[in-house]
Amino acid sequence: MSLLAPSSPHAHRPLSTSHVMAQVSLATLPALGVLTWLFGWGSLINVMLAVTTAIFAEALILKLRKRPWRILMDNSALLTGLLLGLSITPLAPWWLPVLGAAVAVVVAKQVYGGLGQNPFNPAMVAYALLLVSFPLPMSLWPQPLSLQAEPWTFWEHLTHTFTGSLHAIDGYTGATLLDAFKHKGALTAEEFWLQTPVAQAVLNATTGVSLAYLLGGVYLLWRGIISWHTPVAVLASLLILAAFFYGADPSQYASPSMHLLVGAGIFSAFFIATDPVTSATSHKGKLVYGAGIGILVYVIRTWGNYPDAFAFAVLLMNFAVPFIDYYTRPRTYGHARAQRGIK
């Protein structure tokens, strides 16, 4: 009798990287459903385009780099495409998600050496690039279906995506609600809501989407796929800042609930900031990292030039991750204090 003698531990938790990625992907499905239900087929088409491109690009690069095929099974390209497709406007022409997904996989991930090596969140790199390069198509959001007289069918939408030649729908061209709010001019908050009856409908729709993301996030927490530290830190810091300024001058600043529910707040807190590869490692580090994102988001939203700021906030904090990691090392058992900093 002669057996293999692998070393300990011999037991392993039945949870693999591809499993983790698949779970996260699964958790976005409610939101994808709600988006499609409230805003039409655009998001679904985006997601399909982005995912296909991402997987294809990954396969191509793996072949060029002569890496084993099984890496494709880690589902990370799938997830990157999915997240990008979800964050792009449903009215996007086809090349936006395609270009974005290619950039995300090739430039933001594989160029750095593949999964685990990339310092920046690939989906957010792509999103930021698109936003800077093509600000107009990127910020053109449709009105909720409830306000549209004649919603597009799937085929109509598909035609629009690929040719852009279809008749225009009643696009809510003021970009997102947050952007509209920021450019309300001399109006007070009260007047803004009165002025724009459409806003109420949009608010309801985006709230629905945010709640769907929240559902997915809670699922991930429950499954132990993500830890609570990052999302809680992001949302708490954002809310505290919003509450402070809103309390100081409710007529000028958006309310905390608006910051929470409108825009990509919950989506980013649960799905983007928690990206394991590009976030801080320790619990404490995750709190710092998350809080940094929340603060940056508020600052850019309120005083910056971009309507929503998650991509930039996340990328900026990605920069800071090595630094955060150095300074938030946990205290090892049996040591009087934690070691800090670079030695």
Question: Residue numbers of the site for other proteins (CB under 8 A)?
Answer: 1-13, 15-20, 70-71, 74, 76, 114-117, 227, 276-279, 281-283, 286, 325, 329-336, 339, 343
Give 13 or 167: the residue with its C-beta nearer to other proteins: 13
CB of 40 to other proteins, least distance (A): 34
CB of 20 to other proteins, least distance (A): 5
Which class for 64: exposed (0-12), middle (13-18), buried (19 or more C-beta within 10 A)? exposed
Q: Kindly give, in sequence order, each residue whose CB lies less than 8 Å from that of residue 330, ignoring residues fewer than 6 positions away.
A: 282, 283, 284, 338
CB of 59 to other proteins, least distance (A): 17
Give 148 or 281: the residue with its C-beta nearer to other proteins: 281
Give 23 or 196: the residue with its C-beta nearer to other proteins: 23
Q: Kindly give, in sequence order, each residue whose CB lies less than 8 Å from that of residue 35, ignoring residues fewer than 6 positions away.
A: 43, 44, 86, 90, 209, 212
Give 63 or 331: the residue with its C-beta nearer to other proteins: 331
Token pair of 135 as six digits: 């600000």
Give 26 or 243: the residue with its C-beta nearer to other proteins: 26
Give 184 or 329: the residue with its C-beta nearer to other proteins: 329
CB of 275 to other proteins, least distance (A): 9
Which residue is listed with tokens 């309507």? Answer: 307
CB of 342 to other proteins, least distance (A): 10
CB of 19 to other proteins, least distance (A): 7
Length of the chain: 343
Token pair of 112 as six digits: 């750095």
d(CA 73, CA 341): 37
Q: Sign of torsion, CA 236 241 242 248? A: positive
Q: Kindly give, in sequence order, each residue whose CB lies less than 8 Å from that of residue 224, ignoring residues fewer than 6 positions away.
A: none
Token pair of 343 as six digits: 């030695």
To 10 degrees, the CA torsion angle through 141, 146, 147, 151?
70
d(CA 256, CA 278): 27
CB of 11 to other proteins, least distance (A): 4
Give 38 or 82: the residue with its C-beta nearer to other proteins: 82
